[in-house]
Chains A and B, each alone.
Chain A
Amino acid sequence: MDTNEILVLTVGAILVNNVVLSRILGICPFLGVSKRIETALGMSGAVIFVMTLASFVTALFNRFLVTQTFTINGTEVDLSFTRILLFIVVIAALVQIVEILLKKFSPSLYVSLGIYLPLITTNCAVLGAAELNADASRGLISSTVFGFSTGVGFGLALLLFASIRERLAIARIPKAMEGTAIALVTAGILAMAFMGFSGLVK
């Protein structure tokens, strides 16, 4: 894997095909944890961490279990249909273990990140990244890089969004538009602007 490929993967995942703004994954935490910049940063950190780890681990499973065909007694056994189940179970377990460890070893970090961890299990961006990796048959390193940059892309979108929402919080928004409605419109305009990056990676 050369630097160019890494560049293409990262720029693509962060700017061009941003998970949130272009692929529309991970909207729940995007809308839910973007009220303050501090919490948004915490969430971004947690997502980057979990996504990197999960991409690596699921890639591992994909490589050595899911895409392998075993020949037993002359019959070919193709396990690819277990992919969804294995991925989600692995991610859920991973998040739980991380949560338990964090709680034990760094209570302060747990206090700032821990509350977001459960939310991440079902954050479709994590499973999405794993699925995208598997679909594109990426190797271990590429998968991990992709997971990491997808996480960074999520963080970038979340940070931008949280920054605007701080301003929205004190704006005189029409009553009916308050809350999720204006957040979605904002996300839409932001997504539109991000389309300007199309073509950066070909």
Chain B
Amino acid sequence: MLITILVSAGVVAAVGLILGALIGFTAKKFEVQTDPKIEAVQELLPGANCGGCGYAGCADFASAIVTKGADPSGCSACSDAMLAKIAEVTGKAAGKKEKMTAVVFCSGSFSRSARAADYNGILDCRSASIVAGGGGKACRFGCLGYGSCARACPFGAIEIRDGLAVVHPELCRACGKCVNVCPRKLIRLVPASAPIHVYCNSLEKPAKRRKFCKNPCLACKKCIRTDENHMQMQAGLVRVNYSNPPEASFVEQVKCPTGALQVEEIHRKIAALKPVEPAPKAAPAPKKEESK
């Protein structure tokens, strides 16, 4: 019994020792340097591979953080605690970032905007936008409502309500994917602290805006006159001055004649007034009424 134990222990230990020595030897002899920091940082990143940081996935970003000194706060999905940890690993101070959110500057849901045609094709904004006229709505500037942005959002923050994209700010991590995908360039990242927005993007002649939509911004500039510090013109559009955004109560103060200036939550609610229908599986084939 004792002998068995001794011999086996000896054999196992010897094998272990030999193998260990072999590994140690090869490892030493053929050592290749890699930076363990990169892996450490990669571990800390969320692993969503959303690309919001502008790199090809989390691994790439991790190596950029370590080797090129990229700013970890470029990852919008990272919590502050994580950023602090990354800073610890890399030995750099964590950048501070203001919480941003995406806003869709349109209020033309299906029931609140005029239609120009029966669109019959791929239910995707980018695909619709390459068809003459682009989608069924009359407004050339508004939301097509086919949800390219919602599909692009890695965090499920965008919902299509009655043919209008609305952002849920609590889910939005400001990765900017939707901004790039929207063919109508309707989405911008703005500070999440701003409670109200001008939900219109039309550069049409004001008369036409009225014809096409129930809540257009007519560029009457009433709001700008009310307070020039909070509101401004940007490239022909009335916009909130996001470096100095007004309070929610500003909306009542201004009494926007069309309701294009709206509190975010109310806007979202209005969009939901029409019950959300399950997304159709097939493109709505136009009904062939008469003459069939």
Contacts and interface: CB of A to CB of B under 8 A. Distances in A.
A70 B7 contact: yes
Chain A binding surface SS class: helix
A101 B19 CA distance: 15
B11 interface: yes
Interface string A63-80: 001000010110101110
Contact of A81 (B8, B15, B20, B32): B8
Given A72-B3, A73-B3, A93-B22, A79 B30 contact: no
A90 interface: yes
Nearest to B19: A93
A77 B8 contact: yes
A82 B26 contact: no
Interface band, chain B? 10 to 19
Contacts of A100: 23, 26-27, 30
A78 B4 contact: yes
Interface of A: 61, 65, 70, 72-73, 75, 77-79, 81-82, 85-86, 89-90, 93, 96-97, 100-101, 103-105, 107
A85 B30 contact: no
A97 B22 contact: yes
B284 interface: no
A77 B4 contact: yes
A174 to B, nearest CB: 12
A78 B31 CA distance: 39
Q: Which 7 A-B pairs have the closest CB atoms?
A: A104-B30, A93-B19, A75-B3, A77-B7, A100-B26, A103-B32, A77-B4
A75 B26 contact: no
B44 to A, nearest CB: 20
Nearest to B18: A93
A93 B23 contact: yes
A77 B101 CA distance: 72
Given A75-B3, A79-B7, A103 B30 contact: yes
B16 interface: yes
B3 A82 contact: no
Nearest to A65: B11
Contacts of A65: 11, 15
Interface string B19-37: 1101100110011100000
B30 A86 contact: no
Contacts of B26: 97, 100-101
B30 A89 contact: no
A96 B23 contact: yes
B30 A101 contact: yes
9 contacts: A65-B15, A75-B3, A75-B4, A81-B8, A93-B22, A97-B22, A103-B32, A104-B31, A104-B32
A86 B12 contact: yes
Contacts of A93: 19-20, 22-23
A96 B26 CA distance: 9
Nearest to A97: B26
B15 A86 contact: yes
A82 B4 CA distance: 11
Contacts of A75: 3-4
Nearest to A71: B3
A187 B290 CA distance: 51
Given A90-B19, A93-B22, A100-B26, A82 B32 contact: no
Nearest to B32: A103
Contacts of A72: 3, 7
Contact of A79 (B11, B22, B27, B31): B11
Given A97-B22, A97-B23, 14 more contacts: A61-B15, A65-B15, A70-B7, A72-B3, A73-B3, A79-B7, A79-B8, A82-B11, A86-B15, A93-B20, A93-B23, A103-B32, A104-B30, A107-B32
